[in-house]
Structure formats: C-alpha cells, structure tokens
Structure 1
Amino acid sequence: MTALTIIHTNDLHSELDRWSAVTALIKNRRAAAEKEGQDVLLFDLGDHCDRVHPLTEGLVGKGNTELLNAMNYDAVTIGNNEGITLAKSELNSLYTEAEFDILLANLYASQKERPSWAMPWKIYPVENEKKVAVIGLTIPFYAFYEELGWQVTDPLEEIETFLSEIENDVDFIICLSHLGLRLDKEIADKFPQIKLILGAHTHHVLEDGLKINETWLHQCGRSGSHVGEITVDLEHGEILKIQTHLVDLNFRDEETDRLLEKVEAEALPFLQEKVADLPAPMNVSWYKESPLVKEAAEALREWCGADIAMFNAGLLLQGLPAGTITKKHLHEICPHPINPAKVSVRGDDLIKLMYQSNQDNMVHYALKGYGFRGKVLGATFFSASVWTVQTAEEILKAADQIDEEKIYTLAVPDLFTFSHLYPIVTELQTKSYFMPEFLRDVLAWKLSKAYSLNRRS
C-alpha cells in the first residue's frame, strides 16, 4: 500500500501566541508519519494573516510568510485576509520570499493574467510514482477584489477547467478551499473526481470529517485551535483515517518561539512611526459622546466625501494619551480590518437608521465576524458638516433638518454593507468602497492634519 499523510491548518488569523503550540503538534505528527515510511504533504488554507496582530500589521504579512517557511509547508492558498486587507502591491510582495507553492486558481491580475507569485494547481509526485493533484481556491468577494485591481472568478468554473486538464493523469485530487462549508459541499456534490476538500473560512470543526458522495471534507476551526491529519491509500484512492488534533498550548516549540521573537522585533520600527502630537488625552466611551469618537466620525465623512457619516463608538477600543501618537497606538485602539464605504440612502430611511442603531439591543450587541475585533458595537454617532448626533433628543432635532425624499450620501464602516445588522444599508444598490485604507488609516490622516507633529516648533 502507498500511504500518504496530509497535515493541514486553516484560519490562524495571526493568533501568534498559539503558533508555537501549533508548530509543535505539526512537527510531532509529521515525524510520526515519516517514521512509518509515509510521504507527508503540509498545507495551509488561508487567513494565516490577520492585521489585528501588530506583527502582521508591521510587516504587512511578510512575517507570516517567514513563519510558514520555517515549517516547510508544501503549499498554501489565500483567504480574504490575505486577499482583500492588503493593497495590490502588498499582496504582490507578500510571498516574495516564500519557499512554498501558492495555489490559487480563481484570482487574476487582469484580463486572465495570473499573478506571478501563484499557480492555479500543481501535481505532487509521491512514493511509487503516484501523483497527487492539488488546486487552490479563495472566496470570491467580487466588489472588494475589483476595487483593489484584481479579477476574481467563479471557483466552480475554475474547477471545471482544472479537471478537464488533469483528471486522467493523476491518482488523487485535493482541493485547498477558502470558500466556506456551503461551497465545499456544493463542490463535493458536483465534482466527485475531487476526493478530498480541505476547507476554511467558516471556521467549522469537522471532528471526523464529512463525506458527501465520494468526497471527504475536513476543516479545523479557527485561531490555531486544531490541526488536521488525513491518511490516504493512494493505491485505491481512499481515505483511511481523518483526525482532528486539539492543539495543546502547554506543548510549545522552542525554535518557533525564538523565530517569533525575531519577527516581532522586525515589525517594531514600522509601528513606531509617528502620526500626530496631541495636546491632551482624547478619551473614548462606548456609550456616550466622547472626543475621539467624534473625531473619527468626522474623519470618515471627510475621507469619503459624504453628506453624513455613521460611526460606532465600539470601533475604538480605547482612547489616546497626550503627546506623540504612533501607528502602534492607532493599531491598538482600532485593529479591525474594516474599510470605509459610502452608500446612497433616502432621507426617511436615514432617520429610521438613526433610531434603530441607537436602540439598547444594538448599542450592547457583541458582534462576531465581519472584520469586527471589538467587544460591543457601542453607541452610533452620525456626523454631518453642521451636527453630530447620538441621543434620541439629538436625533429628533436632526431629523427636522433631513428631507425624507432626498438622497443623501452616507459614509459607513464597510461591515454594515454586507452584514445582517441593518437591512436598510445592506439592501442598497449603490455602494462604493475606499480601499486599501482601514478606519485607523483614516483616523491617522485626520489626526495628522489637526494635530501636526510640527505644531510645537
């Protein structure tokens, strides 16, 4: 029997305090398989990067590439955190030093020209002249990729092309998927030639795997909680065993710990870049008006050139001290990978949105996902050129100045354009995104103008 062991990780989201334990487990499982005489392939399914972590922010993801190199990964695909939280130039340079393959079939630089750093699929030769074909796919967030200058395509169409070219030349076919469980199930149903789908994006833990027709699906949670291990009989093209290993945080890898210290030191100079000089502290409250939240709302409106801006206090995790403000300060208080967006909304819907967003259930809502890395949404502030409102009394006064039939441009954090929170916004047809800047970049721009580093000279 020709046996192959596949080890895989997904959705680390730069939870780098767990990475040493993850790598210790990978090394242990790889050594055990190799002792049995098995070939081993090691894959990552994307969202290894997350700019919520200062190391990833400071090195724009290149530190994550260094960590993957050290573990001798065979291949990765990208997730949305690599794909749409980096500028096009940053993604183009993310893997410059990569010592592994980047498999990505549904992303193009332009007009069907693939990025130079990626290949759609690859055939890996293993023991006894067996061949394993592997394709990589990422979730196609069309509007965001287009805004960044990429062309992302339908993953199912790319699979059809892939299978037409390689199906009869290989012994086993694997899909590295950052598409989410729903699309993974659809692929399994439509393409039985693919025997194994290693999944990500939706953070499911499929303890024993999931079999759909002739295809096995596996996914291992989020944040380095689990590592997947699969044993394949290549003689018969069958999955022999699927294991989902819980990561033991008490079992660490010293080599990885040393590398993390090195990479964190490399990130520090970027984070120490000076932005502004505040004459006094700027406090934040999640539940009432505070200076920094008001400043952030005004910054969002001005950046987007909108009539009004909508900004949640919970987007700012804390205030800023007096004195020199650095990029590190701004990353600490606003770590979310959230971009500015602009929509067009009728006046009557705008008034409804003002009231709805400041109901107690929304103010205290503990949002998970959509890029939000805070605790609660907090109070929502609406900033126009002549007023800022949050309380019911303020909204009532502002409503008198709003023409219910007029169309207003409204600047919002992008999460409100695609989350379930405010259908009034989600269902709008006219939306535009301001990328690659995040909300913290917009706040930095505003503070640097208002509180220049040269103001005391």
Structure 2
Amino acid sequence: MQIKIFHTNDIHSQFSFLENVFVYLQKHRTKNDFYLDAGDYTDISHKIVSADHGQMALELLSLCQPNVLTVGNNEADLGVHLKDLFKKFPYISANLSDELNQPLPHLPSSKLLKVLDKTILVIGLTPYYNEHLKENGYNNFMVMAHLKIQEPFACLRRVLDERKGQYDYCLLLSHSGYFVDEKILENFKEIDFILGGHSHQKICSNRYLQGGKGEFLDVLTLDVLEDGIHFLKSEQLVLADERSSSFDKQMNIYLNKADAILEKEMEVYDELIFDAFHSCELMRFLCDALWKDYGQDLAVMHHGIANHSLLRPVSQKSLLETFPSKLNPTMYEIKGKEILEAYYLSKVEDHIRQSGKGPGFRGNVLGTLSFSTNVEEKENCLFVNGEKILEERVYSIVTDDYLQRGTGYPSLKVADEICHYDNRFIRDVMEHHLMDKDLFCHIKNLKVH
C-alpha cells in the first residue's frame, strides 16, 4: 500500500498559502496519509497571531488536520503563551526544554504514527546551531520565553536509543536548517528521511525535502509492505490559488476577532511624522525612548524599522502595522570608528534604498540611521554629549538585534554573547511612551531636517 506524507515549512502566517494547502488536502488526502509542519508556521507580525498569541492561527492550521508539528524559532516569539499551545496542538521537539533544562509538559520529543501493522517514528527538532554552525545560535532569544534549546545531536541519539525496536521507518521533522540537517544525515543512518525547514531552501531529494518559505507543498510517497516501509518518491507541488468557503468563513471570524482585540484606541500625546531616508520625528522619538529606557551612551536605529508615520487613531493594530518587525531592544559596546562607518554608510542613497531583508525584519527598505538627541552631526562627524566621537573609544549603545547582526550596516555587528537583549519588541517601547509629554515636546521642538 502506498501512503503520502504531506509537509510544509516556514509558512510565516501566509494564510493564503495555508488555504491552498487546505483545499489540496481536502481533494487528495486519504485516510492513510499524514500531514506534518516543520515550524515557523506563526509570525507575530500578522494580527491574527499577535491578537491572542497564536491560538487562532493554530486553530486555522487545525482545519488541515496536521498529525505532527515541530517548534521553530518564530514560535518562541509567542513567549510564555507558547506552552499553552503544547496542550492543544500536536507539537513535538526532542531538544526544547525549560530554562532549567527540564522537559516541558505536553511537549513530547517524538511521536509514533501507525499505518497498517507498521510504525513511523517522527522526531522533532528546534534550531540550535546558526547558519555558521555556531552553538546556541537562538538561546539568547529563547530564554526570554523561559525556554532553552539543547544540543540536537545528543538529543537525537537519546530518542533513537529510547525508541529502538519500536518503529519501521524514521522521519526527522527538523527546523534546524539544511546546513545542520545534512550533517544529521551523515551521522544518523537510522534516520530514513528529513522533512526540513528554517533555511528557506528549495530542496527535493531521496532523503530530504524543504519547501522554501511557504512556497511548496512537499510530498513524500512511501510503500508499506510486509517487509517494511520503503521510499518511493519525493516531490514539491506548486499549489493552485484556490478558495474554500469554509476556510474563508473561519478566517474572517478570526480577522474580525483580531481587529476587535487590537483596534481599541490608545491615548497618544501627539502624532509623529516618518521619512525612511531623512531625519524625522518618529525615528528621533524612538531613539530617545530607547535611550531613556536603557541608559546607554547613545541610541541608534535604522529607519526601516518603521513603515509610516504615527497617526491617530493609534491602537495595537496600527502599532503592529507601523512597526511589523519582530526585533528587540539590544545593548552592547562598540568602538567609535564602527559607529562612524555606519553613519557614513547611512548617507549613501543607493545603500539606504535597498530592501533591508534580514532575520526578524518585516519592513520595506533598509533606510538611513537616526541617533538619540544627545548625538549631534557637525562638520560631517558625530558628537556625543558635545564631544567629538573618538574612533578608539568604546561606547555603549542601544539599538535592535537587526543592526547588532550587522544587517545593512556591517560595522555595527557584534557577537551575540556580548549583548543584552530585552524581551520587548521595538513597538512595545513605542507603546510605553505614547503619553510621554516631555519626550514628545522635546522632539517637536527639535529642528528636523
């Protein structure tokens, strides 16, 4: 008997793609087939996810009747609420624990799927190594949700030893990225096939499938025989853009619920004008808010963090639309010459008008840079608290993890280990200061160029 394993990865709350998956599975899935998702299904930039910390988004996914889900790095943006989802939805992860290295309730490391008298073992993995195979590539952010990712190779070995003799075919549902998954294929011969994600690659082979960034429905076809389960073929399907009245009805219910939650108007002292490529009120305000909250020598921010001006009425929805990127306030130390190099680069028109694409970024362009108001520009140089910035002096700065990774402005890059990350998003900083009269008046009195 032939069975199919349908697989998606990195949907990032592209619910139109999910609807295409739903329609296809309704037409083609049989009672013996399975559907698995390899993580980063949710993206906090979407209002349905943001409104109730992922509950409605997972209910939408449940329309597709997934058998197994694994936890991606974007799921961690749901914070402590992620643990509530483990109770209701079929998540697994062999290497995700609490911050004290203890197992998480309702999160098994693996799951057994029965087909006829045979058994498929599915093991889940959450990303631990980054693309450079550096350890602890994501724990700086996981700890903010009181979670911790363990080294995956040891965790895999433990699960495989525990499950020895219990299965006929082994699937790894991995959000580790192909750069890690290929090492796993080399070192774990017990793993028959990997359904991958995280690195957004389009790969289809006889031991591996990964469908880009919510672009393909992957299909693994297996032959279930008396002597075991055997690989037949793997393929990637470009789905037709089809609609379902039942899916649309539920989607509209959740969109309306999200609006009801997020559209409650907030008080704001004044409006702030935005310009992606020139100094503006909104970005100076944000930099001063960061400087005020975190007390570093200076604050610096890329204009691409915002999409448009802050205008009334202001709500959680409008803040999400204005600041959609899932980026956190980040503090670290850096030399003056690195700050100056970024400053000079921020004056290059071709540079600041590029897309700005990078981890956590959900904006439109890179944009120029702004600084807190204790930083002045004179004679093509920067002055901090009235003193010319010194190239070899070390300054403490507050920015976000986008600039800390060197995205767009490489000279500002530093290692994760020397940074401190706050668990708020940048838009949360803005929300905190919506009625900060002193800050508004200070910014409004500035001459904005």
Same fold (TM over 0.5): yes
Is 1:395 the counterpart of 2:394? The answer is no
1:63 equivalent in structure 2? 56
Structure 1 position 361, deviation (Å): 4.0
Per-residue deviation, residues 106-143 of structure 1 (Å, max 9, x unmatched): 1111433222131101112211x101101000112122
Per-residue deviation, residues 133-181 of structure 1 (Å, max 9, x unmatched): 0100011212222343222111111111111111332100000011111
1:194 equivalent in structure 2? 191
Counterpart residue type for residue 425 of structure 1: L
1:178 equivalent in structure 2? 175
Helix, strand or coil at the partner of 1:234: strand
Between stretches 398-407 and 424-433, larger displacement belongs to: 398-407
2:8 equivalent in structure 1? 9
- What's the % identity of the aligned pairs? 25
Unaligned runs of 5+ in 2: 129-137, 440-449
Contact 2:358 2:402 in 1 (8 A): no
CA distance in 2, matches of 1:109, 1:293: 37
CA distance in 1, matches of 2:306, 2:344: 21
Counterpart residue type for residue 336 of structure 2: G
* Aligned counterpart in structure 1 of residue 240 of structure 2, from 248, 269, 274: 248
Is 1:376 the counterpart of 2:365? The answer is yes
After TM superposition, the structure 1 = structure 2 runs for residues 33-52 of structure 1, keeping only pairs within 5 Å, are: 33-34=30-31, 39-52=32-45
Contact 1:347 1:402 in 2 (8 A): yes
Contact 1:277 1:451 in 2 (8 A): no
CA distance in 1, matches of 2:18, 2:110: 27
Unaligned runs of 5+ in 1: 453-457
After TM superposition, the structure 1 = structure 2 runs for residues 134-213 of structure 1, keeping only pairs within 5 Å, are: 134-140=122-128, 141-206=138-203, 209-211=204-206
* Aligned counterpart in structure 2 of residue 76 of structure 1, from 49, 65, 69: 69
* Aligned counterpart in structure 1 of residue 85 of structure 2, from 86, 94, 114: 94
2:121 equivalent in structure 1? 133
Contact 1:304 1:434 in 2 (8 A): no
1:407 equivalent in structure 2? 394
- TM-score, structure 2 normalization: 0.89
Structure 1 position 218, deviation (Å): 0.2
Helix, strand or coil at the partner of 2:84: helix
1:348 equivalent in structure 2? 337
Helix, strand or coil at the partner of 1:49: coil
Per-residue deviation, residues 364-409 of structure 1 (Å, max 9, x unmatched): 221223111112111101215x2355xx846345595324443211
Could you list the runs of 4 or more consecutive aligned residues of structure 1 that deviate by over 6 angstroms after TM superposition? Answer: none
Q: How many residues align?
A: 426
CA distance in 1, matches of 2:139, 2:152: 12
1:455 equivalent in structure 2? none
Contact 1:304 1:341 in 2 (8 A): no
CA distance in 1, matches of 2:200, 2:285: 35
Alignment RMSD (CA, Å): 2.2
CA distance in 1, matches of 2:114, 2:143: 36
CA distance in 1, matches of 2:342, 2:99: 38
Contact 1:278 1:324 in 2 (8 A): no
1:331 equivalent in structure 2? 320
CA distance in 2, matches of 1:168, 1:305: 58
Contact 2:323 2:427 in 1 (8 A): yes
CA distance in 1, matches of 2:347, 2:160: 52
* Aligned counterpart in structure 1 of residue 262 of structure 2, from 263, 271, 278: 271
* Aligned counterpart in structure 2 of residue 221 of structure 1, from 205, 212, 218: 212
Contact 2:7 2:38 in 1 (8 A): yes
